[in-house]
Structure formats: structure tokens, C-alpha cells
Amino acid sequence: MKHILVTGGAGFIGSHLIKSILSANQYRITCIDNFDDFYPRRQKELNIEPFLDNANFTLLEGDIRNYNDLQKAENIDTIIHLAAKAGVRPSILNPILYQDVNISGTQNLLEFAREHQIKQFIFASSSSTYGVNENVPWREDEKLLPISPYASTKLSGEMLGHVYSHLYGIRFLALRFFTVYGPSQRPDLAIHKFFKSILKGEPIPVYGDGSTSRDYTYVEDTVQGIIAAMDYDKSNFEIINLGNRKTITLTELINAIEETCGQKAIINRLPEQPGDVPQTFANISKAQKLLGYNPETDIKDGLQTFYNWFNANSAFLL
């Protein structure tokens, strides 16, 4: 069995990824996660609870900035690096911490890969690297002008990967995620936050006039792209969009959430936030060609699945 190291595996995307990989019964997984207090530890514990009795799963509670913590993971074949300080707006408040975790942590992992001759490294990058760019849908060779510390750390991670790929022959695949959503989504993200507020009869914060648009991508579609990247071997460095190739505006999203839960939202209109981009929109032709990537989940179906999960866990989430 190949042995996969998943960083940040107790989080939203990581736990979905681990579930999918383990279901194939072809891989061992070591998950390293520091259970960062950005949101409640209990949600992350619930995410990984189903895996704890699986003989092919090992949990290491540790920090990617601590090289000794990484050394506890042995005989690794592939690294899937999802761990990061997440969020555009919080990164503006604490840019040094974001640089420390997202850049220094990635550097640590690349050194670990070099030292242990791990040849496959998959990096969770972000659509935020594109910044403000009207040339949509975005191709991977667009000019990048990030406008938040978070976005700049993701771009730095991509470039570190290029260095290690060039110098040491590590195959580095940077997957740019586009607004991933679904069950277990972080509570700070719009879809989770909006459902919670609407169901509690509280106002939802809407920044700007509602015209901003996002390429919302269902988590299982993103996971399939990551899994396909595990077996990619045609080149040593690639940057690949994993989006949904469709956009909806913030107003349209709120309408869809209202329809899903059968309640109207109370809107608290607020100014646009620094660091937020007006739109994200992925050209996924490269992912289709290299990874056979084909997102299939419609936003209404994805919202319904999220709502079902939220209801099932409402005692904890509300």
C-alpha cells in the first residue's frame, strides 16, 4: 500500500479527501493536524471520528512548522498539503501569522519531501492568487495580482514548489481551489454562515450590493480532482484550476439558500471588504485534459446536501 501524508486532514476538505481515499482500501494515510482554534475543535474531531478505528489511518496531532512533528510520519510516498491559515479577511488582521504558517510550513514540508525523497507533492492553492482580473474565465497562465496576505502566501507556496521541483525533481502540483463548499464546511464561510443565521432568524452580513460572484465548487468534485493528481506523472510542475466553470452572484446564492431552507434572509448590508475580489471564475480545460476532471454537482443539489448535514448536526452547530 502507498502511504499518503495529508496535512490539515481534520479540516473540511481534508476529511472528505481521507474518507474517499480510505474507501478504496488501497492506501495508508497519516493525517497531521494541529486543531487550530480558528473554529471549534469539536467540529474537526467529528470530521475524523469515523476514521479512528481504521487500521490504515494514523492521526498525528502536530504543527507543520515543527520539523520534529513531521518526522513522526514515516515511509511516505505522497504529500497532500492542505493545512493552512485560511481566510482573506483574517489574513489582513494578522499577516505575519499567515506568512509563518502558510509559507514557512510549506517550506518545512518541501524540505521533508527532499530529505525523504518523496516525489509526489500536491499543494492546495487558491483562486485568490488571481486577484482582480476581468479576463474571465481565468486560465492558469494569467497574470497574478493577489490583493490579500492570504493570497500572497498561496502564490509564494506555488513558487516554493517550483524551486523544489526544479532543484530536486519533486513533482509539485498546485491545485487552485475555487470556493469549495459542502457538508462540514468551515463556519466562517458564507454558505455555512448564511444557513446558520437564517435558521436562527438573525441578520446575515452582506458585503457590498450583492453583485460579487463566485465559482462555487462542491467538495466531492474538488476531492476527485485531488485524487486524480495523486497519480499524475506526465510532468514535474503544474498549476491547475479546480473550479466548477460556473459563477453565481451573492444575491443569487442567498436566494438559493432561502429556497433550500424555506426561510427568508434578513439582510445586514455592509461595505465591501478590503481583500475581497469582485469575481472568481475558473477555466478548467487544463484540469479536464491532465486529470480527467469533471465537476458534476449543481449548486442547488450541493446546497441541499449541506442543509441535510447541517440539520443532522444542528444540536452542535446552532
Is 178 inside any structural domain? yes
**Nearest C-alpha neighbor of 33 from the set 52, 53, 55:** 52
Is 196 inside any structural domain? no
The CA-atom distances, in angstroms, between 109 and each of 63, 106, 149, 255 are 11, 5, 20, 42
> How many angstroms separate the CA atoms of 285 and 245, rounded?
9
Structure confidence at residue 69 (pLDDT): 98
Of the candidates 27, 98, 130, 150, the residue annotated as catalytic is 150
Q: What is the mean pLDDT of each run of 10 residues along the chain (318 residues)?
A: 97 98 96 94 95 98 98 97 95 97 98 98 98 95 95 98 98 98 95 96 94 97 98 98 96 98 95 91 98 97 98 89
Structure confidence at residue 160 (pLDDT): 98
Is 145 inside any structural domain? yes
**Nearest C-alpha neighbor of 181 from the set 47, 306, 278, 87:** 306
> How many angstroms separate the CA atoms of 230 and 3, rounded?
11
**Would residue 150 show up in a list of annotated catalytic residues for this protein?**
yes
Structure confidence at residue 315 (pLDDT): 86
Structure confidence at residue 213 (pLDDT): 96
Report the number of distinct structural domains present in the chain: 1
Is 205 inside any structural domain? no
Structure confidence at residue 165 (pLDDT): 98
Spell out a b/e string for 98-123, using b for 16 or more CB atoms within 10 Å of the CB, else e.
Answer: bbebbbebbbbbbebbeebebbbbbb
Is 225 inside any structural domain? yes
Structure confidence at residue 55 (pLDDT): 97
Is 85 inside any structural domain? yes
Threshold 0.85, pTM exceeds: yes
Is 251 inside any structural domain? no
Is 87 inside any structural domain? yes
* Domain harbouring 123, CATH code: 3.40.50.720
Structure confidence at residue 316 (pLDDT): 86
For residue 45, give its domain range.
2-185+217-245+281-297
